[in-house]
Homo-oligomer: A and B are copies of this chain.
Amino acid sequence: MADTAANRPATIHQVASLAGVSHTTVSRYLQDKDSLKPKTRIKVEYAVKALDYRPNLVARSMRTRHTNRLAIVLASGAHFPGRLLAAASRTAHEAGYQVEIVSVEGGSQERSARIDELARSGQVEGILALSPISLKGKRSNRVPIVVSGSYDDKLHGLAELADATEIRDIVEYLVSLGHRTFLHVAGAQNFASARNRKSVYLETIEELGLRSVGAVDGDWSAQSGFDAITSLPDDCGVTAVVAANDVVAMGVIRGALSRGWSVPGDLSVFGWDDEEIGRFATPSLSTVAVDREAQGRAAIHRLVAEIRGEPIPEPAIRTINRLIFRESTAPPPAGAPS
């Protein structure tokens, strides 16, 4: 009906003139409906509805100098942390921000370049990086960047310690079953979570006086787990594997079967992430249930605090990762050295 020649969306001025008020009044209405006299409010309300008016967010952003948008950056190709993102998204929403997920291809430096570009384009107010990035010295960034703790090491304390603790718990559990000789198939070493788990694994092995036949650097893939097992010498004596995550664990199990080792009869395998398939695989996977929702919430809270210049919240409620014991772990075979 009231379309302009160009068929453009209605502007605040059109609303104002239809309502018989000034554009300022409409603007006030948009920000706080109660600051208007009831009679005026009704007029504006009517005009907004009649013209099907939606404020142009680009114009608003330009004037207010903030976009109310956050970006979450992750490496394309890497596993997609769906639950974390959902929680992060919801948390950001509650804080008044829109979230946009940017999947960046290429290596670490390419990603960093893209993040830098994003940071300075004026399009987002903060960035949460879920993939490892290398921000070299030159960063005079305009917006806060939070690198999630469970994926890199800038976010001390958020989830790192938790990661560490559980690896130790896993090893201790396996020891309690009788295992003495271990293997760790680590994740990609540019991820801090992978580095942390690996170093805690090594520490624990040393402190408890156990034997490790290696801590193999993988890339989070099932293939890397498979390769790690199939390339072991026959007489290595390993009876328990701590895998970087559930997918790697699946590869480890398949590799073990391919050499005639039964799981868990000859080899126990522990995963990480509690993915759906782990519960239904055969054998089902012992794993670590990670509170991804809490991680997502915490990361966004931290980011929002940085944006607003508020004190950074302490990760008071430590994320609680729960060990889940299923079929892939059992006591070692009788013949194993102890």
Contact = CB atoms under 8 A, between A and B. Distances in A.
A236 interface: no
A85 B89 CA distance: 18
Which of A54, A82, A277 counts the most B-chain CB atoms under 10 A from its CB? A277
A51 interface: no
Contacts of A13: none
A121 B9 CA distance: 10
Interface string A270-298: 00000011011110100000000000000
Nearest to A98: B102
Interface string A231-243: 0000000000000
Interface string A181-221: 00000000000000000000000000000000000000001
A114 to B, nearest CB: 10
Copies in the complex: 2
A142 B10 CA distance: 12
Interface residues of A, number: 50
Interface in A47-91: 52, 54, 56-59, 61-62, 67, 76-80, 82, 85-86, 89-90
Given A105-B89, A121-B57, A80 B77 contact: no
Interface of A: 9, 52, 54, 56-59, 61-62, 67, 76-80, 82, 85-86, 89-90, 99-103, 105, 117, 120-123, 140, 142, 221-222, 225-226, 247, 250-251, 253-254, 257, 276-277, 279-282, 284
Given A54-B122, A76-B85, 15 more contacts: A52-B140, A77-B82, A80-B82, A86-B105, A89-B105, A90-B105, A100-B101, A101-B102, A222-B276, A222-B279, A225-B280, A251-B280, A254-B282, A277-B281, A281-B282
